[in-house]
Structure 1
């Protein structure tokens, strides 16, 4: 039985994959399995409900979360998000303000308050910046999903909702642009503008997944899509609100550090990584912005100094935590550590840090890297476990348990055999036999099919599959399986083998049971059902079979001659089992 922590981990994986219904199911199991009430589990399930726009349930879970832990700011963010979704803007504002009381640097709460201000302003008429007609296009959402510059953004349900709100009220665009910087890219894409922010020229190739993508310098405008992008300064990457821009001047040290960063970016694009690292170091020494550390790690990664990149990213995480850096910055640091461990061929560590990155901020490229690392790790562990000698030992133990009638122990040993040598069809076939004894017929069928895949001439697997199908009263399927087995034996010249005789007996049994009267069925009802059987109807409508049957009425010996043909033999046997042809 899985623990609450295991269910939680599985729920997080489903959430990252955007399978919210499955995530809800797993978090519910985690809540039920938890020995004490766990506020994080209710928070996670609330997020799932909110993603599905089921805000009533999202609010109920969020309230339970803060009831369990009233000092956790994120819980109030969950409450506010659900209230916002329900349209209760005043309550949502109070909840976000409560979150900021507990954590003054909480970015989610700050962003939430900006969203509320933007939503409230929609009722106030204002200029639409000439975008009214464009935002009213009914194909807008689909067009944005197809545009490579905005496709990744449109995977975020919250951002899609913002665009829909702008469709309803384009005049609010001036406020919304500053509540979510991604909208600037969306507006630029709608207008067909190549948005170039910052003083640098065009950047070199190198987005996520592109050539050299792992080490891209921080702040590339289109890093997620892998297209040509420009190096940006941190100030440009996160557009402040109008009020902030007017009242908070950029420190001169920051400006000087950004100049060093820009020089470093130029060296990075030219693949002069030592020079780039030197400039990023000067930027960090001038002004403590974690982005500079992430850029240095990118250059170290491209240089092949993976230990150095890991050390730099770890420092970025530590400094970022102390300075309340944005979670996306921390996420990138963790993701790059994971990529470094991939290069170092330490997949367990890579998986660990990719998961940490996704916990901070979920992105498609990082999730793809995690899945690839997990698949490769599982493959290696499986290959390392393979041992033909140990597989044979497991088979012998399984056979001994089978003879004793200890079916569960036999299944366990045959499973061990399959793990040790997946190429041997006997492991699957033997396990199918034991599973049939336990009346687990669907599993027995699957194992028999696996055995046949590995050796299409393995007749015993066909027989075991047919027996399991008959046990499930799937007589037509059993008939098809046995016909394939018969063809294999004929092809191999085994016309008089003991297995061929067994196949023939099973065929007759399958046909008899297929057309036998059902419980409570009268003879007339049975014949009506049989005569409507698709295969029987097809045989009776076959002109060749009609001719053969007419000849048989006048000359029964002719039927015996025709039955030397395997196909005619099969059809006649079906008609005899169905009671259409009767022997005296």
Structure 2
């Protein structure tokens, strides 16, 4: 594989967050092209993303050694130095890069960020209270949610709790700075102090590897250095022995027969194609492509056993003949196709997997996925038995009445396998019953998932909405539960269970707005809300951040916002979720 191909695979791995895999690809590419400065630069970024800053620095130095006038090399040096805590060195590297490109925005931004960090540290801002007070900024949650590098942290209750602890007592900040996520939020706050909008930062390494974020940006597709074209050198044609000449003539004749076979194949003249491919095989026994082509003809003729035999021969001889691994993989895939036609799905699956070990081909991977689905569906169809389904359902109901909820879940799950929705018109009841079991067991996300499936299968079944609303209520997602109960009442306006659930939600939301919920309940409610993508979207919207600020500081502007139904709907969403409290 060429260095360009390996580099492309490394870039894809980096973009997908697979940094170790990216390092492997870049290392392989360097073995092929050891003088390519771009490869060392990209590997430096990948190593920095794994916090291997010393190695990242070494690669960055190699980048500059190979290409001294390339600004990005100095950007890599600066980023690695920041990761190592050598801020003064980072400043020098960024300045050196700017000597070659004074208008480089990445270098300028990174330099400004590091100098700001040095200034902050020198002024003692890292000493407990002063720094911790920055976490009280009302826009902090929005910054975290809007930054792709930090938004996922909000799904971790322990991280949310750390932020809330620092907000309550800024002096606790120092005890949390060992957590790399906290360090990243800390860096975000420092950038805000230096005038940079936190929501517009460059993507930085988790844990604050660099203020400018250059080390964690996906490796740019820098153009490969074009080698100079050598002057053509006349070559002398060596004399061939009689055996070599005969072998050469045979290969040429075999290729001619192959071309005739290809032409016949395209015309669907399979008998003629077989004849030409067989002749080519007799002329040149060292080329397995004639075997795989003949196997393709047998496949089209429906002669699957003959096809499999030729594919086996090609796969067996290929390694000894140093055949292209792609050709061997093709033979195996063709064998898998023939087995699949014969109905041997398990055999086809095994052969497809073996083919993928030779060469990972998208077509073969798709065929493997398809045959695995066929096997699964076949097994599911063979397992269906409505009598056993009803029997398991009755057993589940009995266990539920006895409060044996794990046993009930097991029975309802078995009933769904025996009578899936495709064959059972009342499968929605099984999902509803299992949702109730999950709620009793405290497995609330699973309860919501089953209730959603129940509603999907039977939208007018009020019990499905009740199951979902109850689970959401216990998850402290009162705003979501309220919406669920409302949807249920649209289906059954007189349902007492739905009405009671709705009233409980309204009561809890009002208690939260008036500060009557316990501190623990309020924190849990906010934590669930911050994990909601819709809430994150509202908080990360610059317009909504300005609106929230106006409600606090600018009454006149707030009155204008209050007349906008779209804005007020989003405000109400935040209020119901417990993120914003209205006076």
**TM-score with structure 2 setting the length:** 0.50
**TM-score with structure 1 setting the length:** 0.50
The higher-RCO structure (CA 8 Å, 6+ apart) is 2
